[in-house]
Amino acid sequence: MRQFQSHGDGTFSATDLAALGENVVFEDGVRVWHPETVRIGTNVYLGHDAMIKGHPSGQILIDDNTWIGQGVFIHGAGGITIGQKVGVGPYVKMLTSTHQLPNRDLAILEAPLEFAPICIEDDADIGVGAILLPGVTIGRGAQIGAGAVVTKDVPAYAIAAGNPATILRMREP
């Protein structure tokens, strides 16, 4: 069995980040692990207790004019791109890794990890408590309902909700 080790407490300095634009707000309790893999654009808000878990295997980009709500959890081992003018509601989770499903002789916890990126395109909105799983793309202007579990791509301007998330309708032009 492998030994577990701490990744530290996530405290960081703005100068540790790979890039940091102007007018970025870090509310109290924001934590960033592996800040050297995290790029944050201009005019970005990160709410209280948001957790950004960078990883040497993947980059995290949060583009300009984006709002990240309190308690959001971003796990970037597979890479995450969050576009411009995106709203990410409180307590959203973005996960870019999963355990391979082994045969029954190997515990799932001991199985190798698989990584896949998450991409949230410009102008999208992710509702409170939604979960984005590895490999999904949220299209430009799409809306994800509160509590949705997104397992597949959501096209541009779609409104999706549920567990698993399904397309409810398209936004009108």
75: containing domain: 20-170
Q: What is the mean pLDDT of residues 76-102?
A: 96
As a whole number, mean pLDDT of residues 24-29 equals: 98
pTM given for the model: 0.95
Please give the average per-residue pLDDT across 67-95, as a whole number: 99
Q: Does residue 15 sit within a domain?
A: no
Catalytic residue IDs: 99
**Statement: residue 48 has pLDDT above 90:** yes
CB of 138 closer than 8 Å to CB of 123: no
With respect to residue 43, please indicate whether it lies within any of the assigned structural domains: yes
Answer whether residue 9 is part of any domain. Answer: no
Domain count, the chain: 1
Q: Is residue 4 part of a domain?
A: no
CA 44 vs CA 47, 109, 112, 118: distances in Å: 10, 36, 35, 19
Q: Of residues 122 and 8, which shows the higher confidence score?
A: 122
Is 44 part of a structural domain of the chain?
yes
Could you tell me if residue 7 is inside a domain? no
Mean pLDDT score of the chain: 96
CATH of the domain at 78: 2.160.10.10
The per-residue pLDDT for 1 is 61
Tell me: pLDDT of 20 over 80: yes
Q: Which two tokens stand for residue 161?
A: 């909700």
Strand positions, DSSP E, 5-106? 19-20, 25-26, 31-33, 38-40, 45-46, 51-53, 60-62, 67-68, 73-75, 80-82, 87-88, 93-95, 97-99
Length of the chain: 173
The verdict on residue 14 lying in a domain is no
Q: Please indicate, yes or no, if residue 10 is contained in any of the structural domains.
A: no
pLDDT value at 72 more than 90? yes
